[in-house]
Amino acid sequence: MLPTFFLGKKPPLVPDPGQRVRLRTERSRWRGRFRAVSYPYTDVSGVVVVRVAEEGEYQEALQEGRRAMGVAWPTKQMEILSPPEGG
């Protein structure tokens, strides 16, 4: 088997639930203060996504003992800002 090379690029990282992330919008602008709230999955169009919630929604859900719902966001349009919680 031949080794895989990324030609100077790091392999994409996928956040774990609870990690802080920032999201790239359609206009290539970054928006911050989001948390991943799911593990990655493939949506109906074949894109790998992670559900993310705004920080406020995430904290409110934790205080109320429920899971934040969030929205699906393509993993290729997000950047991890923090290590997983408890790790």
Cα separation, 28 vs 6, whole angstroms: 22
pLDDT recorded at residue 11: 52
| Region class of 65: left (phi > 0), else alpha (psi between -120 and 50), else beta | left
Q: Is 78 helix (H, G, I), strand (E, B) or coil?
A: strand
pTM: 0.77
The β-bridge partners of 16 are: none
Could you read off the pLDDT of 55-87 as tens digits, one per residue? Answer: 999 999 999 999 999 999 999 999 998 665 554
**Contact predicate 15/39, CB 8 Å:** no
